[in-house]
Each structure stands twice: as C-alpha cells, then as structure tokens.
Amino acid sequence: MKLAPVLAVLALDAVAGLSAQQSARFDHARHAKVFATCTVCHAGAATPAAPLWPDSAVCGSCHDGTIQARVTWQPPATPRATNLRFEHGAHARAVAARGTGASEPLACVNCHLAEAAPWMAVQRAAIPRCLECHGVKTAHLAAPDTACATCHVPLAEATGLAAAAVAKFDAPPSHQDTAFVHGAAHGAAARAGTPIAASCATCHARDFCLQCHVDAPEQPAIAALPRDPRATAIRARLSAPGSHGDGTFLATHGAAAREAPTTCASCHTRESCLTCHAATVRVAAAMPAAGPDRGIGAVIVRRPPPSHGADFARRHKVSAAVAAASCASCHTRADCLECHRPGAGRAAGYHPVGFLARHPAAAYARETSCSDCHNTAGFCTSCHARSGVVARGQLRPGYHDVSPAFIAGHGAAARQNLESCTSCHVERDCLTCHSVIGGRRFDPHGPGFDPNRLIKKNPEMCTACHGRNIPTR
C-alpha cells in the first residue's frame, strides 16, 4: 500500500532529472579536463563555414550510456533571437583586420573568461567588455548614438526577437525623465541622426511612435522608421501637456491651435477636434485626417460643460439664443432637430418613457411650448383623430361630460387652454356660435384684443366671421 507513493516519487524524480538533463546549460567547468580548446566544439567561432555548435554525436562518443550516462542534447535548430549584429568569425576577422596592436589575435577567452579565471570557467560575453574594447566610456544604455549600431541592428531587422523580448528592453536613463518623453526633447534626440538616430531605431519602430504621433507622415524621423507591430510591446504612456490642465484651457485652446497648429497636430487628428466641434469643421482643417499610417493620438472624451447641469434641456432656451456660437462648438443642428423635429419611431428623449400616457396634464397647461417641436395639426390633431377625440361634423355635447353645462361655460377654459382645444377642434366648430355670418354672433374677443391692429396686419382672418363688414373700434 505504501509502495505506490514511493514509486510515484521515483517516477517524478526520473522525469524531472531527464528534463533537467535536456535543458540545463552545458557545464563547461566539469569538462575542463576533456577539452583543450574552444574550437573543438565551437568550430564556427573560428571557421566561417563550420557550425558554432558541436554535433550531438560528439557528446555521444562519451555519453553513450556505457561510459557516461546518455544525453539527449541537440544543437539549437535556429539562430539565437537577438538584435546583436555580432557574428564570431566576422568579429574575429574585423579585429584582426583593424590591427588592434594586441600581442595575440582576439581569442574566445578574451570575452568569455573572466580575468584570472580557470580554464573553462566560461561565461556569457559581458557588455562592459564590449564597451571597453570599443572605447565607449559610458554605461551601456547611456552610450552615444553613434555607438549603438556598432553592436545592434535596428529593431525591424532583428526579426527573430519576439514581442515579449522587446517588451523587456531596458529603458535608457534619459527616458526616465518625463520631460524627455512628454516634451520636445525626444523629438530632438530622434532628429539627431539622419534620418533618425540609431539609438531610437535600435529599440523602436514606427508603430511605437504611432501610439502617440498622428503627424507621423509629416515627421521625417518617424517616417524613416519601418513599420513593425512588435514595437508596441513597449507601451507609450503619454499624458496631456501641463497646459491642458489649466482651467481656462478649454476656452483658450482655439487661439493656441490657430497659433501653432503643428504642435497640436502631434497628438490630435481632425477627429479630436470634430469630437466636439462637429458643427464647425473649419476649426479642424489644420489637423491631419486620421488614417492607417497615423496614430490615433489623443482620444477626446466629450463632456458637457458645468452649465449643462440637471434639467438643462428644459432651461437651455436662453443659452441657445444668446450664445448660439458656443452651442455650435459642440452641437450640430441635428442635435437640436433630434427633439425639435422628432421622428415617428422615437419612443423617448426629451420626454420620459411613457409620456404618451401622461401628456394631457403637461399639454393642457403647456408645461412648455409644445408647438416648438410639434405641429398641432400634423401631430396632435392627427393622432387625436385616430383616437376618435376630434369633433367631426356637427358640434355636439357629450365628450366633456363632467358638466352638462360645459358648452355654455367653456369660455374661460378655452381662453386658458386654446392650444389644447385646437388639438381636437377646428375653426368651424367654434364658428358655429362665434360667427357673425351664419353663427350665433357670440363675441369671442377678449382681453387685449386690438381689432384695428389686426385688420392692418391681416384682415383676411376677420372675414372668416365678419365677411366684408369688418367692424373697427
């Protein structure tokens, strides 16, 4: 019963050992007495046509399972993914051709063995050693722009590098300064090379710049970089310039944009402007139109100004009248017509959901002016006609059945709510009684009626009741 766990542990151990055997780095020091030279295994380091890695059969000559435990190592199938332009043979030849003055040709141990280290205490080539030989006096990431290309190829040429490896690139000290990233300094640094600084191209491709720059086609330095989607593995975190945080910025940015449109165009497309200035497209003319070779740039979130607080829809009339240009900065007339010329399919908007059921109260005493948005005849009367609540033909009592004498005392209600009356009644209903011609001659004119003025403006309406004998006062 206890045997099973023991066997399981042994099995796991065996598997783990096999796995470690395959992936562990070659223990050079353990083989110090076996190999006298590096090129026994790494012939390619000296002979251009030879492979850099030994054949697995060389290992198998000892590790055959009898002399030594069998190993399953295989040389890498593909070259190491790197952005180094280093190649052992070429490097050795170049050193030899340059005539460094060294007493001996450059040997493997010059780079892969620390000073005074025993034979075969092999290590990776250390960057400081490269810098030392190449005369670079600074730290690696602070090296001058002219030094980068000595060892590195541009990112776009380092095709073997995965995006994850690009994301792990260490940032140079200069990039820690926010002013460098957010200000003009990085642009100046990029333009230091022709057409772009090699230090930029080593880690970046155009896609990196496109995360922020919408003016990429207009910037020769950016345009000189090839496209490479791996470049976005290094994420740009660009925040708005300090000027944009000024409380008056929204009010003054128009003048600033007119003064230096190219500055704005670094981060803003026309789309930025049109997010708010949908009605005044001319303000966006200086900005580049968004496109596939440009960055999206600043994504503007349109927010209502503080004046648009609760209930603004009800009280916007004065603002719209006195400052229409301000409204037009952000609103097209389509925004206005959304409510002022509502479509038939519209269920809610200015009015809340279910307003159809409660509209009589709001409409009777005109909570607001219905006719600003609805044509009484085309909208109110038309719908009331379909509902049977219009007077057709002879005017009869019966609908207003709360009071049997409503028709006799309706005058006050009519003068108060005449717009409501006209949503069900037409002129002939009223002329039945209120007409001199064929009616009962009940005078409908009330407070404020000025016949002389109305006759002057439009006597035609007077003739509806009075014919050609229009009286004056």
Partner 1 sequence: MKRAQIAVAVVLAAPGLRAQGYRLRLDNRAQSVSFRGVTLDSIPASDTVSGPGGGPATPDGYAVTCGSNGYCIFYRPGAEVHAVPISSTAGFLLWGLGLPGLSVHGLARRTVQAGDSGSWPVTSPAVELLEGYAEYATERVTAQLGRQNVATRLGYTGFDGGRVMLRDAGRGLDLSAFGGWGLARGFALPVTSPALNPLDEFRPQSRQLVVGAGAGWRRARFDAHLDYLREVDPSTRYFVSERGAFDLAVRPLPGWSLTGGADYDFAAGLWGSADVALRYEDPTGRIAAEIGARRYRPHFDLWTIWGAFSPVPYGAVDLSVSASPIRALRLRATGERYRYDDAAASTPLFDAKTDGWRYGWGATYTLAPRWSFDGGYHAEFGPGASSRGFDATVTFAARERLDLSAYGSTLDRPLEFRYDQSSLRAFGLTADARPASWIRVQLDAGRYAEDRRRPDAAAFSWNQVRAALRVILLFGSEADLAGVPPAVRGMPQAGTP
How many residues does this entry show for the chain? 473
Q: By CB under 8 A, is residue 278 in contact with partner 1? A: yes
Give 122's strand partners: 113
- To partner 1, the closest distance from the beta carbon of 253 in angstroms equals 10
Stretch that binds partner 1, among 74-82, 156-164, 192-200, 266-274 (CB under 8 A): 266-274
Nearest to 238 by CA among 209, 277, 272: 209
- To partner 1, the closest distance from the beta carbon of 175 in angstroms equals 15
Distances (CA, A) of 141 to 164, 169, 177, 294: 20, 10, 14, 29
Q: Which two tokens stand for residue 48?
A: 């251009």
- State the amino acid at position 118 in one-letter form: P
Q: By CB under 8 A, is residue 448 in contact with partner 1? A: yes
Number of C-beta neighbours around residue 462 at 10 A:
18
- To partner 1, the closest distance from the beta carbon of 336 in angstroms equals 6
**Phi/psi-derived region of residue 232, left when phi > 0, alpha when psi is between -120 and 50, beta in every other case:** alpha
Is 20 in a helix, a strand, or coil? helix
Among 19, 123, 159, 416, binds partner 1 (CB under 8 A): 416
Q: Which two tokens stand for residue 271?
A: 């789309």
Residue 224 or 238: which CB sits closer to partner 1?
238
Q: Which residue has the tokens 């219905």?
A: 370
Among 145, 426, 432, 470, binds partner 1 (CB under 8 A): 426
Stretch that binds partner 1, among 15-23, 116-124, 128-136, 342-350 (CB under 8 A): 342-350
Cα angle vertex 281, ends 277, 287, to 5°?
Answer: 90
Residue 134 or 415: which CB sits closer to partner 1?
415
Cβ 225 vs Cβ 309: under 8 Å:
no
Residue 39 or 319: which CB sits closer to partner 1?
319
Stretch that binds partner 1, among 17-25, 52-60, 157-165, 203-211 (CB under 8 A): 203-211
- To partner 1, the closest distance from the beta carbon of 159 in angstroms equals 20
- To partner 1, the closest distance from the beta carbon of 220 in angstroms equals 20
Q: Which residue has the tokens 């003739």?
A: 463
Q: By CB under 8 A, is residue 465 in contact with partner 1? A: yes
Q: How far apart are CA 56 and CA 74, in angstroms?
A: 6
Q: Residues 287-306: x/- map of binding to partner 1 (CB under 8 A)?
A: --xxxxxxxxxxxxx-x--x
Among 92, 127, 223, 336, binds partner 1 (CB under 8 A): 336
Stretch that binds partner 1, among 15-23, 108-116, 145-153, 363-371 (CB under 8 A): 363-371
Segment 206-235, which members bind partner 1 (CB under 8 A)? 207, 210-212, 232, 235
Segment 374-403, which members bind partner 1 (CB under 8 A)? 374-390, 392, 396-403
Q: Residues 50-89: x/- map of binding to partner 1 (CB under 8 A)?
A: ----------------------------------------
Q: Which two tokens stand for residue 9?
A: 């542990």
Q: How far apart are CA 317 and CA 301, in angstroms?
A: 25
Cβ 155 vs Cβ 203: under 8 Å:
yes
Backbone angles phi, psi at 84, to 5 degrees: -80, 140
Applying CB under 8 A, the site for partner 1 has a residue count of 154
